[in-house]
Amino acid sequence: MKIDKGEFLGTVSSTYGKQGEILIKFNPDLYNVLEKTELLLIEIDNQMVPFFVKNIEFRSKNSALIKFFDYNSDLQVENLVGCKIYSDKNYYSKSESEYNDEILIGFKVIDNKYGELGIADSIVRIENNPLIKVINKQKEILIPAHKTFITNINKKKKIISVNIPEELINL
C-alpha cells in the first residue's frame, strides 16, 4: 500500500510523561486538520509510517499532546523526537469529505431502525467529539459525528444513514 503524505503539520518536540505521549509543535493554521484527523504520518528514515491517534490534547495554539494506539511507554516513542509529521492525503481527504459542515447541513438523517429522524441543522463543536444537530418537528437530536454511528453518506440524495442507540434518540 502506497502512503501519500499530505500537508506538513509540524514536528515531534519531545516525549511527555511515561505513558507514550508526545508533544508536537504544529502550524497553527492547520489546527482544523490536526483536530479532525485519526491518522498521522511520521517520517522516520525517509519513510512515511502511519500512526493512529488515540487522543489529542491541545496545549496552545501551536502545540498538542498526542497519544497513539498501541504506544504505552516513553521508550516506545522516544525515537520520534525531531521527526516531521504529515497528514495522510488519502485518509484525511476521505474524513474531511464525510464530516465537513457544509456538506452535511441540510441532509436528511435516516436511522436504520427508527427511520427518518430529521434534517441536519448544524455541527456542534465539542473537542474530540463533534455532534450533528438534527432537528425534527418534535425535538432536537444530537448525533456523534463518528464512523461508529454514521453508516453511509449519500451526497447525491443528501441522506446521512445512521445507526443510533435508542438512548441517544430519547435524550
pLDDT at 2 over 70: no
Q: What is the pLDDT of residues 29-68, one digit of tens each?
A: 887 778 778 888 899 888 888 888 888 999 888 899 999 9
Pairing of the two strands 39-44 and 21-26: unpaired
Overall pTM > 0.85: no
Place of cell 517520517: 43
Domain boundary among 97, 121, 143: 97
Q: What is the pLDDT of residues 77-134, one digit of tens each?
A: 999 999 999 987 654 443 444 445 556 788 999 999 989 999 988 877 776 677 888 8
DSSP string, 11-74: EEEEEETTTTEEEEEE-GGGHHHHHH-SEEEEEETTEEEEEEEEEEEEEETTEEEEEETT--SH
Instruction: Give the strand order in the sheet containing 115-124.
Output: 140-144, 131-135, 115-124, 108-111, 159-162, 150-154
Q: How many domains does the chain have?
A: 2
- Show which of 77, 97, 117 is a domain's final residue: 97
Range of the domain at 129: 101-169
Inter-residue contact 37 to 115 (CB < 8 Å):
no
Instruction: Say whether both 16 and 83 belong to one domain.
Output: yes
